[in-house]
Amino acid sequence: MIQRPIFLLSGKLVQSLGLKQVRPLAAATHLPVVQLNFAAVSQETPFSRDVVEGCVRETLLLLVRALASEQNIFLIFQGIGVLTFKNNKVQMKFNRAFITAMDGTGRLLLAFNKVRIKSCMCVLECI
């Protein structure tokens, strides 16, 4: 059995900007929300916790500004997929290789570890 990842945008962001998530899952709305652990991300990269947190916050501010001006946005998460904001609709398209890595054999953690560092580097380079 292949498990598929889901992406849920913050409910507050969806409401405040009038966004619509493409194919939201009713069951997914009951999933717990976990805060991003900046210290853990920092340990996996050459950047300090403060730099990681600043990078994430600045990226989110830029995203909100772009969305408020109704721009189309494509955020590429290397090794994971592309998060698209287009015409007030939000959609996450996961890479086939990433989905395959989530097949329930325990390889999911390995997949996340491989892409986590690359994604952080991509975000830092984009800013």
- pLDDT class for 8, splitting at 50, 70, 90? confident
The Cα–Cα gap between 48 and 102 comes to 30
The pLDDT, as a whole number, for residue 53 is 94
The pLDDT, as a whole number, for residue 97 is 81
The pLDDT, as a whole number, for residue 4 is 65
What phi and psi values does residue 24 have, to the nearest 5 degrees?
-70, 145
Is residue 47 within 8 A of residue 56, CB to CB? The reply is: no
Count the neighbouring beta carbons within 10 Å of the beta carbon of residue 47: 18
The predicted model gives 31-44 an average pLDDT of 82
- How is residue 47 annotated by DSSP? S
Average confidence score pLDDT of the chain: 76
Q: Which residue has the higher pLDDT, 40 or 35?
A: 40
The domain segmentation of the chain, as residue ranges, is 11-126
The predicted model gives 71-85 an average pLDDT of 89
Chain centroid to Cα 61, Å, comes to 15
The Cα–Cα gap between 89 and 122 comes to 24
Q: Give the pTM.
A: 0.65
The Cα–Cα gap between 104 and 18 comes to 35
